[in-house]
Each structure stands twice: as C-alpha cells, then as structure tokens.
C-alpha cells in the first residue's frame, strides 16, 4: 500500500492482495453481450449501518442445496410400461406432471398393488403412497400424451443429499468446482453422484464426481457455452444413486452459478480524507467494454478498543468507456461522526459489477484501501 | 434496528410507529407480487383492503397502487424501472416526504433490488430517500422450492396460475438456488449481508386452512387456499402454501408471524396475506401513523 499527501489530504492507494474466495480477474476482457439499460448518469449513494462486524460475512456464504427427494422426466411410453420409483421413506408424496394431464393407473411393489391417497384433484396426478407399503422399489404406470415429470418427495427421510459449488461466481474459462455429500442418518453413504452444468444455450457438461477420503464427492465442470440471458445464473444438477440397507435410494437437487466476463478489472482503490473529515474512495478500473459500472464497498472504522467495525455502505456508478477509468465515492462527515468510529479507516467487501450485463467482475473481502 | 411494538386491544390491532418516523407528508404505496398487473387494485389487492389500510393516512388520498410487469426479472425496466417511475410520479405529484411501502410476495424482491442497487437507476435515490420503511407481506426473499419445480417441468393446478402459472423470468428468479445467488451478489438484507438502505419488516404467513366448512378458509378465495394446501408438500412445516416461513423472514426484520396477532390466531395463506383477512389491514393501517 502506498500513502502520500496530496492537496493537504492523506491518500492511500492499494491494489490489494486477493485471497482464496475472492474474485479477481487477471485482465479485462471485452464482451459481445449487449448491455441492458440502467438509467441515468453518475450516481452515488451511501447509507449508515449499525451492524457489528460479527454480523457480516467476510465473503458470501456457500449455498448448500439440500434434498430429501428426487425428480426425473420420462416419456409417455416409459410411463405406460412402468417407471421405477425407489422409495426410502414410507408414505412418500408422488406427483406426475404433463401438459394435458396425466392418469395414474397403479403403483406396484413386488407385484402387489399399492393403495394411493390422492392429493388435490384427480387430474393433478398427485398422491401419497400407502405408508403400510413401507420402503423399497415401486413401479408407477399411467397414461400421458407427452413427457412426464415425476416428483418424489420424502419429507422426514434420513437420506439427504447436500450439494454446493465452491463459488457462486466464476469467470468465463474457469471451472465450476462442485461438492456433494450423500448422508443416511448423518453418516456418509457410498454411491454414484453425477453433476451436470447446464448453460443457458443448452450446452451440458456432465461429470461423475470423485469420492474423497471424507466420504464426500467433488468434481470440476468447465463453464462452456454462451453466457445467456442477462443476469440469469447457470444451473448445476446433481443426481445421487446409492443403496442404503440393500435398498436403492435416489436424490436430486440443483444449485446456481453465475458465469461472468470480466469486462473491467479493478486496478486499485484509494481512500482519502477530505476537508471536513469526510472520506473519498476511488476505484481505478481498466475497462474493456463500454458500459455502466458500479463499485460497492463497506467503510470500516475503529472503536475505542481499536477493533474495526462497519460504518456505512457506499455505492457509485457511471457509464464508462474502454480504457483507464476511475469511479469516486464520497462518505460524508456526518455519517462517520455519528458512528463514533475513527481512523484508520478501511474499505472491505469491495465489489465491482457491470450493471448493464449483470456481470460480477470483482469481489474482494480485504486488502484494500485504508487511511492512516 | 428500530424496535417495533404491537398491541391488541378490544378487537382492534394497533401498532405503535417507531419514534424515528419522519415528519412530513405521509403516503402509502401498494406493490403487488408476481404477475403483470393493469388493475392491481381490483385484481390483486381488492378495494376493501386498500381502502381500509389508507384510513390510517392523515390525507387518505395519498396512496398509489402500483401496476407493473413483475413477470420480468426484478431489475428489468418493466419491473423495477416501472416501479421507480410510478413511485417517482406519486412522490412528486403529492409532495410525499414520508412514504410507507407495502409489498406482497415477489414485490418485496423488486423493492429490495432498488434498496440494494441505488445507483442502477438515477431515479432510485429519490425514491429511497422518501421511504420511511417497507412492510413486506410474505416476501419471497429466499425463493421457493415451488419455483424450482415449475422451472423443471412440474405442473401445478390452475388455481396456482397467479403464482407459478408458467416459466416466467420472475418464477425463474424465485428458484431457491437463484435467490441464494442474487442475495449473495446483488441484494442486501439477508443474514450475513449489510442492511438495506431502508428497513424492511416482514409479515410471515405460517399455514393454510382450506376446509369448506370453515368460514376463514374462504377469505382470500377458497379455491386459492385449496391449491396452496397441495403445494405445502414441497414446503417446510411452517409455510403459507407458497413460501417457507424461513424465506418470508429471510431478509430485513421479522415484524410478526401471522398467528401471533391475527384474529383468533388464524394463519395467513399466501393468498390471504394481500387481503383484509383476520385484521391484517388494521395492522397496516396502524403502521401509517406518522
């Protein structure tokens, strides 16, 4: 970090040091995605927050999808012949969906007809399996005129699939790293877990995940395909099959990952004291594609014990042309004074986004500008 | 966080406004949920609800019922852009300086987009500065598993068409995994994230009653409540038939859960939390006091 006095204010500049979990591009890259239309010219906005530092996550918490059920899509012919339903929880809820409706003829278990309790209208194709039929391999037969979605929900089941991606944002060209755990009564279950990354353009990358020493599964999925509709993350589907106590179980779930093009790169941040005791943050950017960019940061100050506590959120945005550009953000003296906190101040949780293309191009928890 | 106190007395629900309420010209805006509305007063809220709530205003004509296209993503010009335009017009035409915004369902997300991205649109700061706080009725802050199911091909009965009728952008957005991404990257106010630029207070619906022999099941539309009872299979034990309670309380602060204060401790289904059911309108009316 470099600090110097300029026009009677103390200015510190930092390019920061990225840490694991940060999103930092090595270069700005032009994008052919047409930006949508955020409105207006330069805008700055700040607001005080009274949260303690402990209330805020340093980095976004990983979203862990949890499932005690599964879903699959079958053809009308497959449904006519019979679709296998592995059931791990007695009294499971089953719903069959198809355009034009679906008629369920029967559900069998080892050749015996299983009693069903319909839920809602008969045309809904929703029913609960007779709890007395227990668990095992069931078969459902019915009639439909097109593809049929089969949902099996086993509320309260001890067989749970947990799935996540290490980061909810990856830069194009990077891999999506995924993890899954299949548990029964809290214990890891050995089976087969497949992950599929679905790009908005329909491209699919499928990987069978590798089992680790801790019983969990992991794998890498390259983010291929076109970026897709503005702001819509990609989907990762997980399908887990295993045997628990000799019986087949299945679980499915999804999580979401955004694939960004780093249309701008954060070169460094600055934080300067202004006369009147306000602070001005500056974000130096290398812009590759013209667009409207926003920088957001949390301003921290120190309490009497010298601990850093958040003071305010600040956000600044403007239309920027390609090249070296700067976004400025002023935190007013009244907000800082009202917080009761004092310097050295720091900027944390700095984020830069391409607003028109909805790309997250930079996300960094620490190591950014500070004043003395 | 500003504490809020709620009192029940003689069958009337009275809410005391925080001392920080701004002085000035008070107004209220009603922001609908998923759907493209052209007459949300009649088709979404009902006049009985709106007219009851606005009785709490010093000038009862200082209200606006928003009509926008919330089938779109929250940031879309037809969604948040439309909302910003109609609120700006309301604020300027009425000289509003103290605006309370009442949202329902996905309307809470659209407003939260504005509160989290004040620089996205140069009209947003003016709107935000006029807002006292937001009363978010059953907001879909963490999304709903029903949206995941619909996008994957599950078809729900017709009575749920107003919520999950087809694979719109709004339904896509309200998938639980998509909302987790938006909450972590584009929205404030959820656990571990910075607070919103204005406080958002959630009213949480906790169950659905749909017995034809129970008069309470008819408030908000009996057939809608029957449909919401079916969808509870996708949801946790505490839900309003469309959203888990955890989703409704997932951003901002929880103001109250329905049965804590509604008449005869009746739960508010997702269809009922936008209507004058079980005294909800009286709570909102009391909240308008400057």
- Lowest mean pLDDT: which of A17-26, A130-139, B63-72, B130-139? A17-26
Say how far apart CA B96 and CA B79 lie, in whole Å. Answer: 22
How would you classify residue B54: left for phi > 0, otherwise alpha for psi between -120 and 50, otherwise beta? Answer: alpha
Of A93, A149, A317, the CB nearest to B119: A317
Q: How far is A98 from chain B (nearest CA, A)?
A: 7
pLDDT, one tens digit per residue, over A97-120 is: 998 889 888 888 888 888 888 887
For chain A, the domains span 2-60+262-364, 69-153, 168-248
Strand, coil or helix: B210: coil
- Positions of chain A with pLDDT lower than 50, given as ranges: 2-10
Q: Taking CB atoms and an 8 Å limit, are B192 and A55 in contact across chains?
A: yes
- Domains (ranges, CATH) in chain B? 25-287 (3.40.50.1820)
Show Cβ contacts of residue A244 under 8 Å, excluding neighbours closer than 6 positions: A88, A159, A184, A189
* Domain A168-248 CATH assignment equals 3.40.50.1100: no
- Provide the token pair at B35: 């759907």
The answer to whether the CB of B58 falls within 8 A of the CB of B71 is no
CB interface of B with A, residues 91-120, below 8 Å: 117-120
Give Dmax (Cα) for chain A: 88
| Rounded average pLDDT over B65-92 | 97
Helix, coil or strand: residue A178: strand
Q: Provide the percentage of residues in chain A whose pLDDT is more than 90.
A: 76
CA B131, B136, B142, B146 torsion-angle sign: negative
A355 contacts B122? CB cut-off 8 A: no
- The predicted structure's pLDDT at residue A17: 67
Predicted local confidence at residue B101, as pLDDT: 98
Contact by Cβ (8 Å): A309, A351:
no
Contacting B residues, span 142-171, partner chain A, CB-CB under 8 Å = 148-149, 152-157
SS3 B50: helix
pLDDT of A21: 87
Do A168-248 and A2-60+262-364 fall under one CATH topology? yes
Whether A151 and A98 have beta carbons less than 8 Å apart is answered as: no
In the three-class reduction of DSSP (H, G, I as helix; E, B as strand; rest coil), residue A253 is classed as strand
Using a CB-CB cut-off of 8 Å, the residues of chain B touching A355 are: 117, 119-120
> What pLDDT sits at residue A353?
97
Distance (Å, whole) CA B28 – CA B24? 13
- Sequence-distant (6+) residues with CB within 8 A of A124 are A95, A118, B156, B157, B230
Query: Is A149 within 8 Å of B153 when comparing Cβ atoms?
Result: yes
Asked if residues B275 and B47 have their Cβ atoms less than 8 Å apart, the reply is no
Among A41, A151, A351, the residue with its CB nearest the CB of B154 is A151
At A205 the pLDDT is: 96
- Distance from C-alpha of B220 to C-alpha of B271, rounded to nearest angstrom: 6
* ipTM of this complex: 0.94
CA B252 to chain CA mean position, Å: 12
Under an 8 A CB cutoff, do B193 and A313 touch? no
Q: Which of A200, A316, A355 to mutate to test the interface with B (most CBs of B within 10 A)?
A: A355
Give CA–CA dist A364/A351, Å, rounded: 6
Residue A194 CB: number of other CB atoms within 10 A? 17
- Please give the structure tokens belonging to residue B73: 């993503």
> B256 touching A, CB under 8 A?
no
Instruction: Tally A–B CB contacts below 8 A.
Output: 143
- Would the pLDDT of B48 be above 60? yes
Flag whether pLDDT at B83 surpasses 70. Answer: yes
Token output for B189: 């106010």
Q: Is residue B99 reached through a cis peptide bond, with omega within 30 degrees of 0 on the bond before it?
A: no
Q: Which CATH code fits A2-60+262-364? A: 2.60.40.3870
Question: Left (φ > 0), alpha (ψ -120 to 50) or beta: where does A66 sit?
Answer: beta
Class of domain A69-153: mainly beta
Q: What is the pLDDT of residues B208-223, one digit of tens each?
A: 877 766 777 778 776 7
Q: Give the model's pLDDT for residue B229.
A: 63
- Interface touch A126/B233, C-beta < 8 Å: yes
Instruction: Supply the pLDDT for residue B2.
Output: 41
The residue length of chain A stands at 372
């Amino acid at each position: 970090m470099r600090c110097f006095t300029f026009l009677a204010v103390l200015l510190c500049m930092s390019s920061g040091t990225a840490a694991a979990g940060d999103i930092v591009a090595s270069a700005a890259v032009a994008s052919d995605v047409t930006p949508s239309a955020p409105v207006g010219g330069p805008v700055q906005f700040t607001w005080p927050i009274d949260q303690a530092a402990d209330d805020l996550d340093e980095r976004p918490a990983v979203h862990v999808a949890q499932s005690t059920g599964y879903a699959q899509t079958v053809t009308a012919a497959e449904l006519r012949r019979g679709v296998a339903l592995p059931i791990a929880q007695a009294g499971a809820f089953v719903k069959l969906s198809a355009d034009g409706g679906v008629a369920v003829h029967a559900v069998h278990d080892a050749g015996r007809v299983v009693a069903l309790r319909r839920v809602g209208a008969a045309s809904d194709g929703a029913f609960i399996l007779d709890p007395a039929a227990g668990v095992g391999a069931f078969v459902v037969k019915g009639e439909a005129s097109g593809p049929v979605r089969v949902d099996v929900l086993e509320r309260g089941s001890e067989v749970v699939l947990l799935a996540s991606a290490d980061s909810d944002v990856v830069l194009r060209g990077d891999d999506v790293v995924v993890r899954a755990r299949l548990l029964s009564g809290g214990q890891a279950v050995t089976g087969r877990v497949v992950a599929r990354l679905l790009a908005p353009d329909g491209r699919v990358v499928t990987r069978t995940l590798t089992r680790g020493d801790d019983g969990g599964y992991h794998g890498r999925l390259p983010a291929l395909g076109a970026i897709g509709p503005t702001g819509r993350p990609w989907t990762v589907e997980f399908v887990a099959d295993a045997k628990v106590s000799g019986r087949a179980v299945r679980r499915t779930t999804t999580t979401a990952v955004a694939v960004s093009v780093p249309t701008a790169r954060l070169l460094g941040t600055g934080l300067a004291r202004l006369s009147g005791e306000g602070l001005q943050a500056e974000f130096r950017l290398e812009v590759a594609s013209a667009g409207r960019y926003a920088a957001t940061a949390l301003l921290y100050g120190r309490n009497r014990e010298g601990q850093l506590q958040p003071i305010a959120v600040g956000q600044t945005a403007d239309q920027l042309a390609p090249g070296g550009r700067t976004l400025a953000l002023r935190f007013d003296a009244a907000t800082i004074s009202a917080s009761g906190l004092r310097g050295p101040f720091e900027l944390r949780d700095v984020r830069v986004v391409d607003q028109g293309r909805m790309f997250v191009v930079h996300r960094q928890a620490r190591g950014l500008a500070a004043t003395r | 966080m500003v504490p809020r106190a709620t009192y029940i007395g003689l069958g009337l629900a009275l809410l005391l406004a925080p001392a920080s309420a701004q002085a000035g010209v008070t107004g209220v805006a009603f922001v609908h949920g998923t759907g493209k509305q052209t007459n949300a007063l009649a088709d979404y809220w009902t006049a009985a609800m709106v007219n009851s709530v606005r009785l709490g205003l010093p000038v009862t004509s200082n209200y606006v019922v928003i009509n926008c296209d919330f089938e779109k993503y929250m940031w879309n010009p037809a969604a948040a852009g439309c909302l910003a335009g109609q609120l700006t017009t309301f604020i300027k035409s009425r000289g509003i300086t103290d605006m309370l915004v009442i949202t329902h369902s996905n309307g809470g997300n659209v407003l939260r987009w504005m509160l989290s991205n004040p620089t996205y649109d140069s009209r947003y700061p003016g709107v935000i500065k006029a807002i006292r706080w937001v009363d978010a009725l059953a907001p879909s802050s963490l999304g709903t598993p029903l949206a995941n199911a619909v996008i994957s091909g599950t078809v729900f009965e017709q009575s749920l068409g107003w919520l999950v009728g087809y694979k719109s952008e709004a339904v896509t957005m309200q998938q639980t995994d998509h909302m987790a991404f938006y909450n972590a990257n584009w929205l404030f106010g959820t656990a571990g994230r910075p607070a919103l630029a204005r406080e958002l207070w959630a009213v949480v619906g906790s169950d659905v009653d749909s017995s034809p022999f129970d008069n309470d099941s008819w408030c908000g539309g009996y057939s809608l409540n029957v449909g919401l009872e079916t969808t509870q299979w996708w949801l946790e034990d505490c839900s309003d038939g469309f959203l888990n309670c955890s989703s409704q309380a997932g951003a901002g602060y929880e103001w109250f859960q329905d049965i804590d204060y509604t008449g005869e401790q009746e739960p508010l289904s997702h269809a009922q939390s936008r209507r004058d059911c079980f005294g909800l309108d009286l709570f909102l009316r009391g909240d308008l006091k400057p």
